[in-house]
Structures are given as structure tokens and as C-alpha cells.
Structure 1
Amino acid sequence: MDSTTLLPPVKEAIEQFPHHFHEDAASYASPLGAAWAPGRVNLIGEHTDYNGGYVLPLAVDRVSAFAGRTRNDQTVRLWSTHFNAYAQFSLAGLPESFEEQREKIPGWARYVLGVATELIKANITLKGFDAVITGDVPLGGGMSSSAALEVASAQAYALFSNHSFSIGEDNATLTPLETAGLCQKAEQNASGLMSGILDQAASCLGQPRKAILLDCRSLEYRYLPFEDPGVSVVVIDTGVRRELASSAYNERRKQCEEATQRIRTLILENEPDNTEARSIKALRDITPEQFEQYKGQLPQILQQRAGYIIAENERVLQVVKLLEAGKIEEAGKILWLGHAGLRDEYEVSCKELDVLVDIARDVPGVLGARMMGGGFGGCTINLVRNEAVDALSQAVERHYQERTGRQASIDICRAAAGPSYVLFEN
């Protein structure tokens, strides 16, 4: 691959490597190589993944990237351009040494350590390496910077272990979804957040001009066309950063589990012959009709949480039908509804997200907008006619700071491919 065709973060990592790791190339066990993986946006289907439901993400042309060389020992040394910091750990002793090593390295490096731990648990042999890490996925912005880092880590381990294992579809050691599941476990262990598989799956499965319908229970997926030359995906960053583990994310998950159990019990008590009710495991298994019948017997807070998830799963399936019919513009209307549910029922929005959605609603040519990601900050996703992108940018510039005291940044994203790598000759 010609280095001029590489994405900017990949080129940056390659250029930065000799500045941070000064050993002679002959002292390494491989030529210079780079590995990367994309972040994602989620069109619709927020917080449905850990409820066994449906999600509709697409990987985007924003990546986390590694550039480096294989070492002759079991040490991994990393330089993060974002944090301006080194980190080092050893593959020797993993997985037993994970907890001990985890406490000695910065938070960003724990994800890389976590991925190594899960690969070793899967009986994959790894080699140490030195690498620079760069990226242009906004950190904490709801575009899955951590998942991009994890999936890029898995690709980097494959590359720097001299392809002792491989990631991909055809005859690979790990399929994309096996890789996603492994990276999901790494995230949970690194962060303490009991996240679903949405982010890692989107990064692993990305294809240009495609959205991905993923069933988060069966892990079945299929691609849907996501290409309208007249419509742009605009991501607007509130500038508000959140720590999901210290937010109400895990609390929401527990509330959904409680609502599921209560509704299941109510159905079985009132419909003893309903054998299907015995197999209810998550909110995804409860129909809108069943919820309407029994929601009055739930505490108000559980009504809100369950009501949002059940309606959101239906919204995903509505958008799928519209994309299949080539009606991207129509899909925008459903984004407004998704945001209202996240704001009012699931209560994971914040003032800044709501302001951005309100501003977007007043701009002709904005087809739909909603908060994206876990919530409490991050970004909004907007479907916008191309001719309205400048008007939206100007409206945000005019009104967002005066209403919030913050600066917002705007990006146009495109559906992109999943993880990849390049290896150069010495």
C-alpha cells in the first residue's frame, strides 16, 4: 500500500515512531508496520445492545492507529500522541498478572493490556512490540474511541506477532464477531463498565457505504445500503466529556433487568398457559402489546426505562425498512423520536445535547438529529441534506456557545471499512 493513501492518523503514527523509539531497526524482529480500526456512529438503537436488542451502526472514516515494530521479548511499549505519555507492560504472566499490571499503567493503556489478556486466554501466542498510538476518533464523544482502540489493538497484535493469528472473514483465526466479543470483554475489564457489543462489532464489521443491522443476542448481522449522494452524516461534539462507569450507565442496565423480571412474572401470573413467557430473558422479548398491558403495575422509573428500550427496538426495525427502500431522508424523522426517548424516558441526555438537537430542528434541510452514545455528553448525529450543512454549522456557531458557554465542533463522517494493516519493507 502506498503510504500517501493512508488515513492521516496512520501516517502520523508512522512518522512519529522513530521520534519516540530510537533503537536501530536491526534490533527489531520485524519491519515497520501499522494497524488501525475505525470508530462508529450509531444511526439508531441506543442502549438496546445490552438488552439483547437491535442496533444499526456504521463504521466511520475516523480511526485509532498503531505504528511500530515487533520486539525480541515479551514487552509492549507504547507512546500515545494524544496523552503525550509512555506506557509499558509485559505479556509474560498474562492473564494472571492482569490486575497487578493494570494498576501500574495509565487508563488508555489498560485497553491494550486488556486485549492482550483476552487473546492469551484464547490460546493465541503474542509477541512484544513498540508502537506509537494516534487517532482522530473524539475521546469520550460517543463515537467509540475505546472500541476503536481495542479493535486496533487486536489488529496490531496480529500484525506484530508476525501473523501468528489473523482477524477477518475467510479462514481467519478470529471472525469479526469473535474479535468484537473479545474486545468487549477487554473493555469491561479495563473500565469496569458492563458495556454491550455494539461498539466493537461496528468497528470490526465496517464496510464502505453500508450500515450494519446487528442482532445483539444471536449476533446475526446483515448489511444495508447507506448511500445517498444528497445526504451527509454530520456529527456535532458538545465538548462535554463523561465517564460512563461513574455515570448511570450500569444503573440503567440493572433497571432494565429488573423491569424484565417483573414483566415476565406478571405475564406468568396472569397468563399461566403462556409458555413463551417462560423464555423471556431481556426487554427485547417483551412485545409492545405486552408492555402496554402490564406497564401500569411497574414503578414509574421502570416504566420509563423499559418503555424507551421496547420502543427503540421498534424504531431500529422501522429505519431498516426505510434504508432497504432507499429512503434515507425518511429515516431522519425517527432520529427525533429516539432523542426524545433518550431525554425523557431513559434520562441519559444533558443540556448541551438537547441544545444541539433543538438548534438542528430549526434548520431547514436537517432531516433528523439525536444524541449518540452512552449519554451525559459526547456528540449528536444529524442526517442533513448537503445544501443545509453550512446552515447547520452557522446555526451551531451562532447559538450553541451563547446557550451553553461551550464550543462545539462539527465533523462530516462517511461509512467506512473495518480494521486493516500495512507492513513496509525495511
Structure 2
Amino acid sequence: MDSTKLLPPVKEALEQFPRIFDDKTAYASPLGAAWAPGRVNLIGEHTDYNGGFVLPMAVDRVSAFAGRTRQDQTVRLWSAHFKEYAEFSLDGLPENFDQQRKPLPGWARYVLGVGAELLRAGITLKGFDAVVSGDVPLGGGMSSSAALEIASAEAYALFSDHAFTIGEKDATLTPIETAGLCQRAEHIASGLRSGILDQAASCLGQPRKAVLLDCRSLDYRYLPFEYPNVSLVVIDTGVRRELASSAYNERRQQCEEATERLRDLILQDEPGNEQARGIKELRDISPEQFERYKNQLPEVLRKRAGYVIAENERVLQVVKLLEAGQIEEVGKILWIGHAGLRDEYEVSCAELDALVDIAHDVPGVYGARMMGGGFGGCTINLVRSDAVDALRQAVEQHYPERTGRQASIDICRAAAGPGHVVTQ
């Protein structure tokens, strides 16, 4: 194996493992590593749990495990980021999940949750020791939790001597099945009623491609995303949010209530409308139907539903533009999407708005918007490559003036999905 080709977190975890877990006599297995990427979402925010469309891509930032199989059912982990151990047992899962979850640090609960869901699916697992590393910004809207969950599934597969496999053909779990399993693991680990966007994006990543995912049917197809003169710039506000304690679950509940009210309003006017009887999510309500009935909704529900219905249309617009190679036009839709997140869905914050405003004034920035659940995290920016330095300078100058904070700027590339390697 050529270690120079491994991403930095994978190399870091492999290098640290012998120092952290130095009892070589405890293992009869080779050292191996498993990883999965974070993601950016070009367009389609908060549409996934409304049965809508999303357009993400995996990026070259990963969560990684490096370790060895144990001879028992114990899982021992060391976090290179948090500098702390976590330990749990696969025995008794998933029934004793809540009992084992309580003493664990937050990051380890995701690993436990994935193990519980794999066992619930009837898959046989083995214990392992591993160092956990990563360079997906935590709480930054690039889905560090989903990267950790999908990397956990890859690690369980690797360290359980390939008792199950993940892949497109003749595998125990398809990528979408793996995403769904890890989505359920997030629900039980964090209490966050997340959609499937993040896990699917991590599982489905391909270099130089975005993926259009229908979050209801789970059908997907790839779109080219390779523009030599355009950079995908992620700018981190430095503001961290805890989605489970934020308004995320509240937004989901509001969308469900808006759907029910709109369905009832349509059926009152058109009792024989079979299409209306089948309305289950905002995805099912056309822009024309929304325009007709929106003024009969309470203001907050009108704003939430209006954003989601329009955002689904924006995703489909961007797909057509990417197919036509019109990347500058894609940028214009990002500005509009941010305004909707700020004013209608109300999940932005002063720091995110500041970064988008600063980017708007830099020539060569095609578009920018907040990304992820909201209330902090990152913005995604489509930037002409020769304008990246100007954007960086503008952010370094004006962002601290406006917020009293420092922002970090990174260029990301559409990258491959999860993987693993045995090193010795």
C-alpha cells in the first residue's frame, strides 16, 4: 500500500494506533483503516425530510478509523480530536442501547448507534480497537456526524472480517440501505429527526460529480461537476450549533403541519381530487396549489412551506443548468436560496448573513448561501478560481469587523465515497 495516497486523517489514525493501543499480543488481525467523506450540498436545504430533492456531493474531507479486530465483543475507541477514550460492548445491543449510550461522549454514541442498527438488521459483528480521526469541520454544516456514521459502518464491516459488505453489486447492504441504517442510528444517538441527505451524500460520493437524490423514492443519478476555472469554496463562520437543541425538529414539525393544512384546504375546494388525498409531504404540493391557498395558512407555516416548495423547484433548475454547463447561472440561484433560508425558513444567523453579504460584493463570486441545518456552520460559494484570493482578502478584512470573529476558508473538491484498506 502506498500510504502517500491516503488522506491525512487516515494516515494520522494509522500512525497513532500503535502508540495508543500498544498491546500487540491482544490482536491476531492486521491493521486496517476505514473512512467516509463529509459533504457539501449545492442546493436543496431542508427538503430531504419533506420528501424532496437534494443535490449534494461528497468532498475530500473524511472521518477515519484505524485499528484491529478484537477477540471479544468490546469496542474501544480513541478520538484524536477530543483526546478521549470511549468503550462499549456489542453484547446486548440493540436492546441495551439506552443504557450503554448514557456514559459515552457524544461522538461515540454515533458509533454505538451504527453498531446497534447493524445488529438489529441481523448482521454479525466483532469488537475492535480503533483510533478515530477526521478533518470534516465539526458542526460546520458539512455533515461530520454522517461521515462518522458511514465510516463506522465501513469499520464494522472491515473489523468484523467482512461478515457483511457495502456496495452496489452483490453486497449485503447497498449504499442507500447503508445511508438509511446510519440515518436511523443518528436518530437514536442524537434525537435529531434528520433526513437522509447527509448519509446518502457520503455513501454515494464520486469524484467530479454531484448526485441528484430523490429523497422519497431514493432514486439518484450523477451530474458532472468539473469546472477547471471554478472553485467550490467553503467558509466557516466559527459559530457552532447543536441541532438537536435548536429549531431543527421544530421546523420539521411545522412542515408536517403545513402539509396537513394545505391538503385539507385543497380537499375542501375539490373533494373529488384524488391527487390531493395522496398528499403526504410538501413535495406533493405544486407551486400553483401553494399560491392558491397560502394566504389561508398562519404566517409562520406559510413561510416554511413556501421556502420548501420553492427550494425543490430550485434544485431542478440547477440540474438543468449543470447539464447545460451554465455554472454562472447556478450561482444566481444560490443567492436566492440563501434569502429563502434567511427570511422564510429563518435558520440563518448574523455571521452566515455577513459572509454571504461579503461574498456578494466580490467580483468573480457567482453565488453563495448558508449550508447545512443552519444557526451557524459554513457557507458554500461558487467562485471563479482567479477570484478566490480576492474573496479570502475580503473575508479576512470585513468579517471580523462585522462579527468580532475569524472565519476559515477552504477549497473543496467533489470526491469519492467511503472506503477501507488493510495495511499489514
TM range (shorter): over 0.9
Amino acid at match of 1:195: S
Q: CA deviation at 1:22?
A: 1.1
The aligned counterpart of 2:86 is 87
- Which shows bigger deviation, 183-192 or 1-10? 1-10
Is the Cα–Cα contact under 8 Å of residues 127 and 160 in structure 1 kept in the other structure? yes
Quote the Cα distance in structure 2 between the aligned partners of 1:275 and 1:163.
48
The aligned counterpart of 1:198 is 197
- Which shows bigger deviation, 322-331 or 119-128? 322-331
SS at match of 1:40: strand
Quote the Cα distance in structure 1 between the aligned partners of 2:53 and 2:307.
13
The aligned counterpart of 1:3 is 3
* Pairing 1:219-230 to 2, within 5 Å after superposition: 219-230=218-229
The aligned counterpart of 1:271 is 270
Greater than 2 Å deviation, 4+ residue runs: none
SS at match of 1:56: strand
Q: How large is the Cα RMSD of the aligned pairs?
A: 0.6
Amino acid at match of 1:30: S
Q: Give a deviation string over 1:310-334, Cα, whole Å, max 9, x none.
A: 0000000000000111112211110
Is the Cα–Cα contact under 8 Å of residues 10 and 34 in structure 1 kept in the other structure? yes
Quote the Cα distance in structure 2 between the aligned partners of 1:143 and 1:279.
34
The aligned counterpart of 1:383 is 382
The aligned counterpart of 1:240 is 239
Quote the Cα distance in structure 1 between the aligned partners of 2:397 and 2:35.
36
Quote the Cα distance in structure 2 between the aligned partners of 1:160 and 1:30.
9
The answer to whether the aligner puts 1:337 opposite 2:336 as a matched pair is: yes
Amino acid at match of 1:7: L
The aligned counterpart of 2:57 is 58
Quote the Cα distance in structure 2 between the aligned partners of 1:97 and 1:3.
39
SS at match of 2:345: coil
Amino acid at match of 1:231: V
Q: CA deviation at 1:29?
A: 3.0
Amino acid at match of 1:8: P
SS at match of 1:382: strand
Quote the Cα distance in structure 1 between the aligned partners of 2:102 and 2:26.
30
SS at match of 1:240: coil
The aligned counterpart of 2:252 is 253
TM-score normalised by structure 1 residue count: 0.99
Q: Give a deviation string over 1:181-235, Cα, whole Å, max 9, x none.
A: 0000000100000000000000000000000000000000000011110100000
* Pairing 1:43-192 to 2, within 5 Å after superposition: 43-192=42-191
Quote the Cα distance in structure 2 between the aligned partners of 1:175 and 1:134.
25
Q: Give a deviation string over 1:259-313, Cα, whole Å, max 9, x none.
A: 0000000000001121110000000000000000000100000000000000000
Quote the Cα distance in structure 1 between the aligned partners of 2:423 and 2:9.
17
The aligned counterpart of 1:212 is 211
Quote the Cα distance in structure 2 between the aligned partners of 1:15 and 1:320.
42
Amino acid at match of 1:196: G
Quote the Cα distance in structure 1 between the aligned partners of 2:156 and 2:28.
14
Q: CA deviation at 1:27?
A: 2.5
Q: CA deviation at 1:2?
A: 1.1
The aligned counterpart of 1:404 is 403
Q: Give a deviation string over 1:43-87, Cα, whole Å, max 9, x none.
A: 000000000000000000000000000001000000001100000
The aligned counterpart of 2:32 is 33
Amino acid at match of 1:247: S
SS at match of 1:222: strand
Quote the Cα distance in structure 2 between the aligned partners of 1:175 and 1:326.
31
Quote the Cα distance in structure 2 between the aligned partners of 1:328 and 1:358.
20
* Pairing 1:351-390 to 2, within 5 Å after superposition: 351-390=350-389
Q: CA deviation at 1:30?
A: 1.2
SS at match of 1:89: strand
How many pairs are equivalent? 424
Quote the Cα distance in structure 2 between the aligned partners of 1:174 and 1:93.
23
Quote the Cα distance in structure 2 between the aligned partners of 1:168 and 1:117.
20
Quote the Cα distance in structure 2 between the aligned partners of 1:161 and 1:403.
51
Quote the Cα distance in structure 2 between the aligned partners of 1:89 and 1:59.
30
Q: Give a deviation string over 1:100-159, Cα, whole Å, max 9, x none.
A: 000011111000000000000010000000000000000000000000000000000000
The aligned counterpart of 2:320 is 321
TM-score normalised by structure 2 residue count: 0.99
Quote the Cα distance in structure 1 between the aligned partners of 2:201 and 2:62.
12
Quote the Cα distance in structure 1 between the aligned partners of 2:270 and 2:95.
49
Amino acid at match of 1:383: L
Is the Cα–Cα contact under 8 Å of residues 226 and 328 in structure 1 kept in the other structure? no
Quote the Cα distance in structure 2 between the aligned partners of 1:404 and 1:275.
52
Quote the Cα distance in structure 2 between the aligned partners of 1:179 and 1:275.
34
- Structure 1 residue runs of 5 or longer lacking an equivalent are none
Quote the Cα distance in structure 2 between the aligned partners of 1:275 and 1:183.
35
SS at match of 1:341: helix
Is the Cα–Cα contact under 8 Å of residues 98 and 117 in structure 1 kept in the other structure? yes
Quote the Cα distance in structure 2 between the aligned partners of 1:170 and 1:233.
32
Amino acid at match of 1:368: G
Quote the Cα distance in structure 1 between the aligned partners of 2:83 and 2:400.
29
- Structure 2 residue runs of 5 or longer lacking an equivalent are none
Q: CA deviation at 1:344?
A: 0.1
Quote the Cα distance in structure 1 between the aligned partners of 2:332 and 2:58.
22
Quote the Cα distance in structure 2 between the aligned partners of 1:97 and 1:379.
36
State the identity as a percent: 80
